[in-house]
Every structure is written in C-alpha cells, then in structure tokens.
Amino acid sequence: MGKRVLIVDDDKLVRCLIIDTLETLGIDDVVEAETGDQCLDILADDSFDAILLDWYMPGTKGIDIARIVRTGGSTTPILMVTGESKEACVLEAIGAGITDYLVKPFDHAVLAEKLAHLCGDPSDLRDPMVYRARSVMTENVISITPEVTVGQAIEMLLGHSISGMPIVDDENRLVGIITEFQLMRAISRPDLKNDPVSGMMTTDVISVTEDTILSDVAGVMEANRIRRVPVVRNGELVGIVARRDLLRYIMQNEGALREFLASTRDDDQTDDDDDQTNTVDVDAYAASPA
C-alpha cells in the first residue's frame, strides 16, 4: 500500500513543490489544506502516514496542530516546513513532538532527503512523544548553601567550569541562585570575598517542575533571558536544565533531526553564539559552551 501524506500550507507554490518532490519518491496520494482549521477538519475524518505543516497560516498555527496530534496519541511523523528559524522556536517544535524541521527557503534536494526519511520505515524515526524536563535535566546539580562565602563560590564556579549555581537550605530546598555576573562585583570589592553569598544571590528564582514540557522550558529561558533553570519537586531541588541539555537532546536524536537546527541567535541571552545558515550540523552544537 502506498503512503498517504497531508500537506498544510497557505502558500500554493510551496504545496506544489512538495507534491512534485513526493511524486519523484513514488508518492501521489496527497491531500492539501490551506489553513490550520481546514487541517484539523481533515484529521478528524482521515489518517495519514506523514504530515507536513507550515508554522504560520490562517486559523490554527502549525505548532498547535502538532500539539493536538500528539495529545491525541498519534505517532504520525510530522515535518515542520517553515520560515521560522529562531532557536527558541525549534526547541518549541521539539517539545511539541515535531519529527523533523526544515527552514524556508529550502533546497529541493534537502526537501527530497527529508521526505524520503519521513515517509520511510517508521522504525527509523525518533519517538514522537512530548519530552519533559525530567528527560533532559542534569540530576547531579552543583549547589551551595547561603553561608558559603563569595570567594568560595568563585572557586567552585572556576573549578567546575560553570557560570552559575543554585543555592539551597539544609533540606535541599531552593532558596536562591548565584551567577558569575553577580560575583563579578568582588573584582572591584575584594572585601566582599569573605561575605556570604546570601547577600548577593537572587532570591526570586525562576524554576520549572519535572513535568514541564521542553517547549515551556525553552519559553521560560527566552522570556526571562536566562541560560539555565532549576527543576524542583515540592520546592526541593532535583535537577537543572541548561541550554546545553536541550542541545544535547537534539544531538542524541540526530537520526531524525539531523541538519535541521537553524537559528537567529540572541546575543543578549547567549553571548557566545554565532549566526547560522538554514541547515546546521547538529554535532557542531555538542562542543559549544553552555
């Protein structure tokens, strides 16, 4: 039996290009939708072997359609074909259960390769489940107590090559966080090195729970311009998610997500990032600093 594919895009030229590419792969059973709402109506009465979604279109957005599909328990492979290339959006797509990602404008050969993979053996595709913070968080968190001195905190950051640490009380409950930026004050004020970090730490800590989906974790980081977020369970620190953890997840799922990460980097949030082209080798991110 041949493959059945649903294409959802308000741009007719894009739909035609995708259809032509599918035909070269021997796939001619294709259904088209111009809006997100039309797509949902089609999915309510029909099933497909693969779905191609634009992000922005009239009615329900593609990312929301993906969430609806996954919430319903479907494992149908989904390719997001979009002009949206920001890293936060790519991470949001991962959290929503997207199988692969392609940025417009795209090369015909790249589209053909991704469609061949998408419409191939389902066992080759990654698990489309929605991943949560517990799936990617670092559990062995380096933390300190409020009584630790500024000098000791600086030594710990340097010794572990990290740029921030959660601060916990005697019961391991999250009470604050300290970053290298805050500790920079000790350069001009050497007398601060013997003071406890409690006088310098941030107490209004932004955190997530183990059940927070990755798209929301990425959203928290972007909205608050932070590079890491503690994970708590009933107030107790159980892990931490850093940008590195999210990118490591992408790297580990390279078989289905290879060369899809295209980002417009925000220097205010990640000062060591470079602009990238439409497709990027995932391995290049494995070595990038968090």
Full strand arrangement of the beta sheet holding 78-82? 29-33, 4-8, 50-53, 78-82, 100-103
Q: How many residues does the chain have?
A: 290
CA dist 60 and 10 (Å) reads 12
State the architecture of 4-130+253-276 in CATH terms. Answer: 3-Layer(aba) Sandwich (3.40)
pLDDT tens digit at each of 290 positions of the chain: 478 999 999 999 999 999 998 888 888 899 999 999 999 999 999 999 999 999 999 999 999 999 999 988 888 999 999 888 787 788 788 888 888 888 888 777 888 888 888 887 655 444 444 567 887 888 999 999 999 999 999 999 999 988 889 999 999 999 999 999 899 888 788 888 999 999 999 999 999 998 887 777 877 888 888 888 999 999 999 999 988 777 666 555 443 244 333 332 233 333 333 332 233 222 322 333 33
Judged by DSSP in three states, 174 sits in strand
Question: Cα 120 to chain center, whole Å?
Answer: 25
> Where do the domains of the chain lie?
4-130+253-276, 135-246
Name the residue type at position 52: L
Asked if the domains at 4-130+253-276 and 135-246 fall in one CATH topology, the answer is no
CATH topology of domain 135-246: CBS-domain (3.10.580)
Residue 115 burial (10 A CB sphere; 0-12, 13-18, 19+): buried
Model pTM score: 0.52
The single residue listed with the structure tokens 């590079």 is 227
Residue 192 per-residue DSSP state:
G
Phi, psi of 282 (to 5 degrees): -60, -35
